[in-house]
Structure 1
Amino acid sequence: MSKDIGPWRRLSNKTVYENPWIRVEHHEVITPGGTEGIYGKVCFQSKAVGVLPLDEEGYTYLVKQFRYPLEVESWEIPEGGCPLDASAVATARKELAEETGLRAQRCFKLMDMHLSNSVCDESAEVFLALDLTQGEADLEPTEDIEVQRLALHEAIAMAMDGRITDAISVAALLKLRILLSECGGDMTKLLSTLAEVA
């Protein structure tokens, strides 16, 4: 069972809790410094996806929902969980439609992320959604969502001043701001730097 993991040596690995969304493992380890220790690892049963919608007038859409673990309301870009064997962009489109009613004709890969990588293996894929059409939202039973359409620069200001604290949302908004700045605000030039995904 012993296995080298980079500069660490894992001596044992035991699942101590599991549900449809996460698995918690207890590891006995030898640290990079050569000492014996333990490591708790949260393994996610899905990948996180985020989608930053941008309409032709330069407006984006945020959703506000109550986040149970933090016990607070949170403004975010549309997000959700994607089964590990499913298409991340297809799931992102589905989450966008469910939460906001928006359908995107074009999606571009904006970034990959690792979330809270000191204790978990959760990863995320984030997309920029364009050519939007409005339809009906279709919320899941666990969701109570408020949607707000606002100018992109206002959403970026919310990420900068702390009104948005969700990591995927902050990263997506600030990356888009930097890319737009580097391209002189030219969206066509910006899109040429991103991969369009079907």
Structure 2
Amino acid sequence: MKKFEEKTVHTESIYKGKVISLQVDDVSLPDGNTSKRELIKHPGAVAIIPITPEGKMVFVEQYRKALERSVVEIPAGKLEPGEGPDETAKRELEEETGYTTESLEFVTSFSTSPGFADEIVHLYLAKDLKKAENKLDGDEDEFVELIEASLQEAEEMEREQRIWDAKTAYALLYVKLKGLMS
């Protein structure tokens, strides 16, 4: 057994939904004791840092029921069955923003909430954006407003807590550290 590894003894499926499923695992701990872990299973997602030729970053503002408010985020979406992260990133960029790109660069992948969820987000940088000729339709239950902002404007939205999620905060830090926008 690896250091700190918890071995699953039993899994009980609680809920299977469109986006997530919930399970409770009984685990054997490294010291021989047992415990329960409530886990959310997620197919994974992508997030895109879109930068326009004019040097603005493209965000979407949408209502997030879990927070009971609207937030400003970088475009993102979940992986669909049989779809790789690169494909998902291109599709989500177009669906949410109306932009396409030939310049899609993988940045990194990260876990969003490792204490209870297995979701991994794959982050991409999209430059040389062009308006899509025939924009893909977004999800029927998704209502978004596009915001194009300079780095200063984005940082102000972060101070105002309009930008409130980790993937967007990470993206802003990346853009700033790499000098991708002024």
Range into which the TM-score falls when normalised by the shorter chain:
0.7 to 0.9
Among 121, 125, 128, which residue is 1:124 paired with? 121
Is the 8 Å Cα contact of residues 4 and 10 (structure 1) preserved in structure 2?
A: no
Alignment of 1:46-85 (within 5 A): 46-83=43-80, 85=82
Q: Which runs of 5+ in 1 are unaligned?
A: 188-198
User: Does residue 1:11 correspond to 2:9, yes or no?
Assistant: yes
Which sits farther off after the overlay, 146-155 or 121-130? 146-155
Among 33, 36, 42, which residue is 2:40 paired with? 42
Which digits, 9 at most, give the CA deviation of each residue in 1:135-168, with x for residues without a partner? Answer: 3463321111111111133224433553311111
User: Partner of 2:149 in structure 1?
Assistant: 150
User: Partner of 1:192 in structure 2?
Assistant: none
The CA distance in 1 between the partners of 2:70 and 2:119, in whole Å, is: 22
The CA distance in 2 between the partners of 1:160 and 1:126, in whole Å, is: 23
Identity %: 27
CA displacement at 1:179 relative to structure 2: 2.0
User: Partner of 2:158 in structure 1?
Assistant: 159
SS in 2 for 1:121: coil
Amino acid at match of 1:111: T
More strand by share: 1
Which digits, 9 at most, give the CA deviation of each residue in 1:6-31, with x for residues without a partner? Answer: 53232211212112321211111223
Is the 8 Å Cα contact of residues 99 and 130 (structure 2) preserved in structure 1?
A: yes
The CA distance in 2 between the partners of 1:12 and 1:5, in whole Å, is: 21
Among 115, 131, 134, which residue is 2:131 paired with? 134
Amino acid at match of 1:177: K
Q: Report the count of equivalent residues.
A: 180
What is the root-mean-square deviation in Å for CA atoms of aligned residues?
2.3
SS in 1 for 2:8: strand
